[in-house]
């Protein structure tokens, strides 16, 4: 199966255009099996920052085949798309996203296949950790209380508590730019720090197969509780955020959060956007922050650390849409 390639993958800051979003395209999308479509979709509730304007069109596939059909249809129309998992690593602009946002949270089935979990890309990481616990499988404890989707975690090669996705994601279904549904295999060497093959190929994870091993449920549960307590101690869930804003870089000689702290930026605030007083690599929404406030704080922190310490920290958060 071939066809015109849709523009997919990493968040484009400018976003897709609204051109071609006529009634005909919307009707075609509505006719695809296992796909739901919403015009003027509010995005703030779909992001852990709780900010951002609407998308012209929100498309919700609930199966890998539905996702592939959407990519083919949009590709045939030359219509770009922006993919959103559970919105925990993005800052969506106040003016929203022009064009199509494909939201994967309804593609969320989880199946236990022996020692593997076959997981819909939009499944919530915490839910997947709970399924693994019930099945007596270890290896995915770090997903417990990780706020994103499994597909988003795969795309980002998410890591926590000395575990990362590259250790367990060995196979699965992806959707190519041409809208083909293809089986892929991965090896640990295909990944790097916060980097997965999807970031290079532009393919979308549709179903992620996690290769786990049998474990004692008591031990698995204890690890999950330990991880949860660590996140509570860091006050990570007290306010809307995107988790760590900046990547770490060994060349800096210290974690990014420590550099921010050493520059005296903990608590730095603009409007309701603030560098967390508890975790200097978090920029939090105290309630009424705009995306512009949050971005201004992030950019101020980046500039200050560069000026005072000589290190240019790279944002881990992805800026999406119009600010």
Ligand X SMILES: Cc1cc2nc3c(=O)[nH]c(=O)nc-3n(C[C@H](O)[C@H](O)[C@H](O)COP(=O)(O)OP(=O)(O)OC[C@H]3O[C@@H](n4cnc5c(N)ncnc54)[C@H](O)[C@@H]3O)c2cc1C
Q: Which residues bind ligand X (CB under 6 A)?
A: 10-11, 48, 83-90, 104, 121, 146-149, 151-153, 155-156, 158-160, 198, 204-205, 236-237, 241-243, 318
Minimum Å gap between C-beta 75 and ligand X is: 16
Instruction: Tell me how far, at minimum, the Cβ of 27 lies from ligand X, in Å.
Output: 26
Q: Which of residues 137 and 165 has its CB atom nearest to ligand X in the complex?
A: 165
Query: Facing residues of 213 across strands?
Result: 138
* Minimum CB distance to ligand X smaller for 90 or for 297: 90
**Closer CB to ligand X, 163 or 304, in the complex:** 163
The least CB distance from residue 307 to ligand X, in Å, is: 27
Segment (H or E) for 72: helix 64-76
Residue 120 dihedral angles phi and psi, to the nearest 5°? -60, 140
Among residues 125 and 133, whose Cβ is nearest to ligand X? 125
- Rounded least distance, CB 84 to ligand X, Å: 5
Taking the C-alpha atoms of 244, 247, 249 and 255 in order, what is their torsion angle to the nearest 10 degrees?
A: -10
Residue that is written with structure tokens 């089935």 in the block? 109
Cβ atoms 108, 124 nearer than 8 A: yes
By beta-carbon proximity to ligand X, the closer residue of 38 and 309 is: 38
Q: Which residues contact 4 (CB under 8 A, 6 or more apart)?
A: 75, 76, 78, 178
Name the residue nearer to ligand X (CB basis): 100 or 309: 100
Rounded Cα distance between 55 and 42, Å, is: 6
Q: How far is the CB of 281 from ligand X (least distance, A)?
A: 10
> Closest approach of Cβ 288 to ligand X, in Å?
18
Strands 318-320 and 90-92: parallel
- Shortest separation between residue 262's beta carbon and ligand X, angstroms: 22
In this structure, are residues 93 and 199 in contact, taking their beta carbons and an 8 Å threshold? no
> Residue 199 CB, nearest distance to ligand X (Å)?
8
Residue among 67, 81, 201, 213 at smallest CA distance from 140 = 213
Interacting residues of 55 by C-beta distance below 8 A, sequence separation 6+: 40, 41, 43, 82, 96, 97, 99, 100, 101, 321
Sheet containing 54-61: order of strands = 35-42, 54-61, 97-103, 81-84
Among residues 28 and 126, whose Cβ is nearest to ligand X? Answer: 126
Q: Between 136 and 170, name the residue whose CB sits nearer to ligand X.
A: 170
């Amino acid at each position: 199966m071939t066809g015109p390639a849709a523009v997919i993958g990493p968040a484009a800051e400018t976003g897709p255009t609204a051109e071609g979003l006529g009634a005909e395209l919307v009707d075609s999308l509505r006719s695809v099996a296992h796909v739901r479509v919403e015009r003027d979709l509010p995005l703030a509730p779909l992001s852990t920052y709780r900010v951002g304007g609407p998308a012209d069109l929100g498309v919700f596939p609930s199966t890998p085949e539905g996702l592939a059909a959407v990519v083919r249809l949009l590709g045939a129309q030359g219509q770009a798309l922006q993919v959103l998992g559970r919105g925990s690593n993005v800052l969506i602009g106040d003016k929203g996203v022009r064009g199509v946002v494909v939201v994967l949270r309804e593609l969320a089935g989880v199946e236990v296949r022996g020692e593997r979990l076959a997981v819909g890309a939009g499944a919530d990481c915490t839910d997947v950790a709970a399924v693994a616990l019930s099945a007596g499988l270890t290896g995915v404890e770090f997903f417990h209380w990780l706020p994103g989707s499994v597909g988003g975690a795969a795309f980002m090669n998410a890591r926590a508590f000395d575990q990362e996705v590259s250790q367990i994601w060995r196979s699965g279904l992806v959707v190519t730019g041409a809208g083909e549904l293809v089986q892929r295999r991965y090896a640990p060497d295909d990944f790097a720090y916060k980097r997965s093959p999807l970031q290079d190929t532009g393919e979308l994870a549709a179903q992620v197969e996690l290769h786990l091993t049998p474990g004692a449920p008591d031990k698995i549960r204890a690890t999950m509780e330990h991880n949860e307590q660590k996140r509570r101690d860091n006050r990570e869930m007290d306010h809307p955020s995107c988790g760590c804003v900046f990547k770490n870089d060994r060349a800096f000689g210290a974690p990014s959060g420590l550099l921010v702290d050493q520059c005296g930026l903990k608590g730095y605030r603009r409007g309701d956007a603030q560098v967390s007083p508890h975790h200097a690599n978090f920029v939090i929404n105290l309630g009424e922050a705009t995306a512009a406030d949050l971005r201004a704080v992030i950019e101020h922190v980046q500039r200050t650390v560069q000026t005072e310490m000589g290190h240019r920290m790279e944002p881990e958060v992805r800026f999406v849409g119009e600010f």
